Structure 1
Amino acid sequence: MRRHWLTALTMTLALSAFPGRSPAAPLSEAQAGALTRQLQAIVDDPAMPLPGLSVVAIRAGEIVYTRQFGHKRLATAATPAEPVDADTMFRIASISKLVTALGVMKMVEQGALSLDADVGAYLGYRLRNPHFPEQPITLRMLLTHTSSLRDEGGFKWGPEVDLREVLLPGGRHHGGGAMWSRAHAPGRWFEYVNVNSGVVATIMEAASGERFDRLMRRLVFDPMGLKAGFYLADFAPARIGDVATLYRRREKDGAERWDPSGPWIAQSDDFHIQPPAAPPGLDRYVPGTNGTLFGPQVSLRISAAELGKIMLMLMNGGRHGDRQILRADTVDAMLSRQWTIEEGVNGSRSGDGGTFHGLYQAWGLGNQHFLDASTMRDGRGRGDRLVDGGGFTGVGHLGWAWGLNALFVLDPATKNGMIYVASGVGADPDTQPGRFSSESRFQERITDALYRGAILGEGAGSSN
């Protein structure tokens, strides 16, 4: 009974933030219980056990279901296991990119940045793909993965590195120029990369004179009252115990040896063993030289509940409680379609490997557009479909790294949305492909359960 009371309290608090709206009908006790049992079965599935899971479902602009499962920190010989709770923060991987875009759009709204200006005007040097030297690079290109930058040259460097030494030919860290596409000019060709976000953060710093992590706090996190941050050492130790460790049953540091029957191996944020520490030389870092340092592409720590507040803000035209975080037209611009795949125009690379088995079909400014596309090839699902049989389109972002798997997706028209964060995987996800999408089967099962159980209110979704 206490669990149902807590869920009801969470829903009531969420509704109170937006007075005057007709509330969505809450889930019945039977519906919530069925969904909870289904998600627990997914977490406990021996074929793909998950150490921890946190979910939020929003229907018609209201939170109708929120729940946590498993542990944020597994037991060791010296310490007991700690359960995931509503305050548990996760290193949210690539969903960080969407949140970074919120800061960009706030600066655009304030007139500090322009989406279509040559970014060299902010960086203080002429940034060009050396193979297409006459084509300026813009923030719009960086946010839509059409800048012609590639991750082959790296995407994160220490505070002693100036990005101009990486990006410009002749620089100490430029090497053979692997960070630039030789075949495709900036502006149209889509290739999902991490380094774009590092350049974006550097531009934000150069335009503001502030460190990226502190700038994001000022622009987004503090105005919304969010417990979140891009740089743990700057807000530790106050909330360090809330950060979940990420796990896999696989060797660390990129080794491909999985052992589904072996022990869980911490991959990231094992802070009860070693607390976060500032990189050497951070005290001498000059803002505007290397924003990759703060992980704008992968290193935001935030809870599923706080992601829910961001989702509600976007659904409500940039408004959070009594504060206008972004103007409604800014939100519309951020979520508007910027790039859509064109088979036969971009060619087989963009239509297949360049978009991860068809997962990337369309893009906005720092957010993916899910078009409900699904095909079958080689016995596995392909495309960006989110629910079995189709029926849900939206905008948002996926995240996966260090065992973490996460989804943040909303439909601005219906104000329906889903968030899940799983803190690890117990087997190689590539061995369990999805049935109707490019995702792994366990990811499909989580999303489908939330959609059918919380948004449609049907109770059970796909069970296996």
Structure 2
Amino acid sequence: MALLGSVEPLFAAPPSSGAPSLPAEARRALDAELAAVVADPAMQLASLSVVALRAGQPVYEQALGRRFIGHGALPDKPATPGTLYRIASVSKMMTTLGLMRLVEYGRMDLEADVSRYLGFSLRNPHFPEQAITLRSLLTHTSSLRDDAGYSWPLATSLKDVLLPGGPLFGSGKMWAERAGPGAFFTYCNLAWGVIGTAMEGATGERFDLLMQRLLLQPLGIQAGYHPSTLPPAALGRLATLYRKRTVDTEFWNAQGLWIAQVDDYSVKPPAPPIGIATYVPGSNATPFSPTGGLRISARDMGVVMRMLVNGGMHGATRLFQRATLERMFARQWTTDGAGGNGDTLGGLFNAWGLGNAHFPDRPGMGLVDGGGFAAVGHLGEAYGLRSVFAFDPARGDGLVVLVGGSSADPDLQKGSYSSLARFEERILTALYRYAIVGQRAAT
């Protein structure tokens, strides 16, 4: 594994305020380009919500399509900048921010054996002498694997899943046999279930409530890790995620109806997770989905991004020390290009920090056509949703993209310069050219 810590500060001085608003002509052009992507007959999008930051300030937001599709039986509901989406794996970066606050408080240690917080000895049985640390979990090098699943009911203890001899250990597919902790990058959702559970163990607080206290409430954000906990106003703005395929299958029909995949509460409200009333924090946080379950709007993701590019400041309040964010977003792993130190999943993951992906400004690794946008952040994909949270810490520029579903299999329309879907490339490049590059030229 290539460990590359930052030599120079990753975050520049706080960006100056007063970034110019997007000129009307550029706004119209960008609106039209995004609308064309959403309505593309070859790959229609159920909904789209985007935000662009320039020099730390929001310069553009837009929402297109429908957050709920009633098929004539119920009224359609349009997407708005305040529409909440289940943002999939971008949730991992948000979870990491909560964790880093606990690190700042001295409640958790990135280098400590995570067993300290779990209440049992967590070891890969094939490498029993090697401790698993929060750092290895955050960098996807813990040797945990998703092959045996990564979410279980609240009544299940992670101890029963992860320990050899446990009633749910099975054949032990959750552990790598040939690569011990720290040796090999393999993207792992289960790691975030362990992280969330460890956060509970360190604090005695339920994960979703803990994240409210550590991150969401201080930022003034209405968001949550389970729909049943959302305030009524926020629940009313929650997007249903769609595909033009049947649920949990691969049978697509691009000419057919949009089919709800998750978060359809048009008939009955969301029910709390079974067993939540008697749940003991620190036993199994996976039902709250630290790995992918945060419901939040693009606009509020922009609030998080502004705090980050301003070095931890939210208005006049310091939420993070700058050094904490430097540590979190410093490079920890870079692919060797040959697969010897990690699995890039077809070029999707090329470099990594602590709980965040890096997108170097290099051919095949960047997010925008033609380059110029070296970024950190995270991607997400689940239930039809595609999400992007990416920002340039030095310049304070950033892009948020939430797509509520596609009419055809995105894997059939690969990108032209990256491992993203082609519609993601088109959205990101349009946002970057009109809202960031155009603005930079104007100033």
Q: TM-score, normalised by structure 2?
A: 0.94
> CA deviation digits over 1:354-400, x for unaligned, max 9?
211111111011100001343xxxxxxxx332111222111000011
Q: Of the candidates 403, 427, 430, which is equivalent to residue 449 of structure 1?
A: 430
For the structure 1 residues 20 and 313, does the alpha-carbon distance in structure 2 shift closer, same or farther, using more than 3 Å as the test?
Answer: closer
> Structure 1 residue runs of 4+, over 4 Å off?
none
Secondary structure of the 1:69 match is strand
Q: Which aligned pairs between 1:13-28 and structure 2 lie closer than 5 A?
A: 21-28=16-23
Q: Of the candidates 198, 203, 212, which is equivalent to residue 208 of structure 1?
A: 203
Aligned positions, number: 427
Q: CA deviation at 1:85?
A: 1.2
CA contact (8 A) 2:67 2:83 kept: yes
CA contact (8 A) 2:65 2:79 kept: yes
Q: CA deviation at 1:344?
A: 4.3
Q: Which aligned pairs between 1:3-18 and structure 2 lie closer than 5 A?
A: none
Secondary structure of the 2:236 match is helix
For the structure 1 residues 243 and 259, does the alpha-carbon distance in structure 2 shift closer, same or farther, using more than 3 Å as the test?
Answer: same
| Corresponding residue number in structure 1 for 2:369 | 388
CA contact (8 A) 2:15 2:396 kept: no
Q: CA deviation at 1:146?
A: 0.5
Q: CA deviation at 1:420?
A: 0.7
| Corresponding residue number in structure 1 for 2:234 | 239
Q: Which aligned pairs between 1:19-168 and structure 2 lie closer than 5 A?
A: 21-168=16-163
CA contact (8 A) 1:31 1:458 kept: no
Secondary structure of the 2:308 match is helix
In structure 2, how many angstroms separate the alpha carbons of the residues matched to 1:146 and 1:394? Answer: 22
In structure 1, how many angstroms separate the alpha carbons of the residues matched to 2:212 and 2:273? Answer: 20
| Corresponding residue number in structure 1 for 2:327 | 333
Q: Of the candidates 345, 349, 356, which is equivalent to residue 356 of structure 1?
A: 345
Q: Is residue 184 from structure 1 mapped to residue 179 from structure 2 by the alignment?
A: yes
> CA deviation digits over 1:40-98, x for unaligned, max 9?
01001011111110110111111111111111101233211111112210000000000
Q: Relative to structure 2, which stretch is displaced further, 298-307 or 21-30?
A: 21-30
Q: Is residue 307 from structure 1 mapped to residue 307 from structure 2 by the alignment?
A: no
Q: Which aligned pairs between 1:250-261 and structure 2 lie closer than 5 A?
A: 250-253=245-248, 255-261=249-255
Q: Larger RCO: Structure 1 or Structure 2 (Cα < 8 Å, ≥ 6 residues apart)?
A: 2
In structure 1, how many angstroms separate the alpha carbons of the residues matched to 2:114 and 2:149? Answer: 20
Secondary structure of the 1:223 match is coil
| Corresponding residue number in structure 2 for 1:4 | none
| Corresponding residue number in structure 1 for 2:379 | 398
In structure 1, how many angstroms separate the alpha carbons of the residues matched to 2:31 and 2:81? Answer: 15
| Corresponding residue number in structure 2 for 1:198 | 193
In structure 2, how many angstroms separate the alpha carbons of the residues matched to 1:141 and 1:22? Answer: 37
Structure 1 gaps of 5+ residues are 1-18, 375-382, 460-464
Secondary structure of the 1:157 match is coil
Q: CA deviation at 1:142?
A: 0.6
In structure 1, how many angstroms separate the alpha carbons of the residues matched to 2:237 and 2:293? Answer: 15
RMSD: 1.5
In structure 2, how many angstroms separate the alpha carbons of the residues matched to 1:24 and 1:366? Answer: 29
Q: TM-score, normalised by structure 1?
A: 0.90
Secondary structure of the 1:203 match is helix
Q: CA deviation at 1:21?
A: 3.1
| Corresponding residue number in structure 1 for 2:389 | 408
